[in-house]
């Protein structure tokens, strides 16, 4: 061993991945300003095809990348990506091992793991290049997921690509469907990629994925709130407790002229449960179906115990980036089955 490598071995301190993630996430949270930081896919931006928000490359710190490179179960990375189901995924090992790959032209595209609960689909992909891989925008290329041979109708979607080392990239897909439970208990998933990370060609991997068998509880509160002037009306039509999320479907009514003039509202929410737990920032995701904000989907982490109620506080982000509540539209949603 060289002197340089020997010094690196002596200086290296092995830190458990869970503690490492917790430490780094705490540092990031401390550095953030108190502005709204909700993950939102606004339907105007995703009117066509698959909803995807690129979360930015190179997110891993060197210490996280070193730890991940030695972890056989990749599901733990969803804590680093801030997925709302990360804790449950890691504790219960919910990800299904796929282990299918397409290898040619010097690049291997391997689908490592996936999980599906009828409402959300998560897929982890690893790319390995013989001559390195590049995350430069001009050579990243394109890829897409399909289910049963068709594009996925997504209300909330994100994907990110992060380099583990010079030859390996880990990619994650986190999708919440616009309409849950439309595919049945077994789905055929395919990933197609073209001209990826500096390599020319097309790659394809397909696999069958079984829906998680945990019980799904659905409640239909139909609780309504409206502004005093009658301009806006919200109806919480359904709350679903699934293995990978707690989903709240909010129907929004507003004047037709806002729709015609493309000035329709997109409400953001804070949610508090009956136990006093506040859901904001990384603990809440917002999205919408493709009907101009008439159907907003609020997604919270999965819950082991159902609270007695949720309180939804709608609002909007002002020009300074701060959230302002619309008190007239506050809704208390009872959750008694």
CA dist 28 and 321 (Å) reads 19
Place of tokens 């809440």: 284
Query: What local confidence, expressed as pLDDT, does residue 77 receive?
Result: 56
Give span(s): CATH 2.60.40.1630, the chain. 16-25+33-210
DSSP 49: S
Report CA 182 to chain centroid distance, whole Å: 19
CA 196 vs CA 149, 163, 173, 319: distances in Å: 21, 13, 16, 38
Give span(s): CATH 2.60.40.1640, the chain. 217-334
Hey, how many other C-beta atoms are within 10 angstroms of the C-beta on 276? Answer: 7
Using the Cα atoms of residue 97, residue 178, residue 308 and residue 284 in order, give the sign of their dihedral. positive
* CATH number of 16-25+33-210, picked from 2.60.40.1630, 2.60.260.20, 1.20.1440.230, 2.60.40.2470: 2.60.40.1630
Q: What is the pLDDT of residues 305-331, one digit of tens each?
A: 999 999 999 988 777 888 788 999 999
Burial-class residue 104 by CB neighbours within 10 Å (0-12, 13-18, 19+).
Answer: exposed
DSSP 95: P
DSSP secondary structure string, 237-265?
Answer: EEEEEETTEEEEEEEEE--HHHHHTT---
* CATH number of 217-334, picked from 3.30.470.20, 2.60.40.1640, 3.40.50.720, 3.40.50.300: 2.60.40.1640
Q: Residue 48: which H helix or E strand, with range?
A: none
Q: What is the pLDDT of residues 132-164, one digit of tens each?
A: 998 888 888 999 999 999 999 999 998 888 888
- CB neighbours of 205 closer than 8 A, spacing ≥ 6? 100, 101, 102, 109, 110, 111, 190, 191
Hey, how many other C-beta atoms are within 10 angstroms of the C-beta on 278? Answer: 13
Give me 17's structure tokens.
């991945």
Query: What local confidence, expressed as pLDDT, does residue 143 receive?
Result: 93
Give me 278's structure tokens.
């506040």
Query: What local confidence, expressed as pLDDT, does residue 139 receive?
Result: 87
* Residues of the chain predicted below pLDDT 70: 1-82, 337
């Amino acid at each position: 061993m060289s002197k340089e490598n020997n010094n690196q071995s002596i200086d290296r301190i092995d830190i458990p991945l869970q503690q490492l993630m917790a430490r780094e996430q705490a540092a990031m949270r401390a550095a953030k300003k108190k502005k709204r930081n909700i993950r939102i896919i606004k339907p105007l931006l995703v009117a066509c095809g698959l909803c995807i928000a690129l979360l930015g490359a190179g997110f891993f710190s060197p210490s996280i990348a070193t730890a991940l490179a030695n972890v056989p179960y990749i599901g733990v990375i969803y804590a680093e990506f801030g997925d709302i189901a990360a804790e449950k995924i890691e504790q219960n090992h919910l990800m299904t091992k796929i282990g299918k790959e397409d290898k040619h032209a010097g690049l291997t595209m391997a689908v490592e793991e996936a999980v599906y609960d009828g409402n959300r689909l998560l897929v982890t992909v690893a790319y390995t290049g013989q001559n390195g891989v590049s995350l430069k925008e001009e050579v990243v290329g394109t890829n897409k997921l399909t289910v049963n041979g068709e594009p996925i109708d997504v209300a909330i979607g994100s994907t990110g690509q992060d380099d583990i080392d010079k030859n390996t990239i880990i990619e994650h897909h986190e999708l919440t469907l616009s309409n849950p439970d439309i595919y049945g208990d077994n789905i055929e998933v395919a990933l197609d990629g073209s001209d990826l990370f500096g390599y020319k060609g097309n790659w394809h991997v397909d696999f069958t994925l079984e829906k998680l068998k945990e019980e799904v509880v659905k409640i239909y509160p139909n609780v309504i709130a409206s502004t005093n002037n009658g301009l806006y009306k919200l109806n919480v039509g359904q709350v679903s407790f699934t293995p990978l999320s707690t989903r709240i479907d909010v129907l929004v009514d507003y004047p037709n002229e806002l729709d015609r003039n493309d000035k329709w509202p997109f409400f953001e929410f804070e949610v508090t449960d009956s136990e006093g737990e506040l859901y904001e920032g990384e603990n809440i995701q917002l999205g919408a179906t493709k009907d101009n904000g008439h159907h907003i989907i609020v997604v919270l982490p999965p819950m082991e115990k159902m609270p007695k109620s949720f309180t939804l506080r709608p609002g909007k982000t002002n020009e300074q980036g701060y959230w302002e509540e619309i008190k007239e539209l506050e809704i208390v949603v009872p959750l008694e089955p």
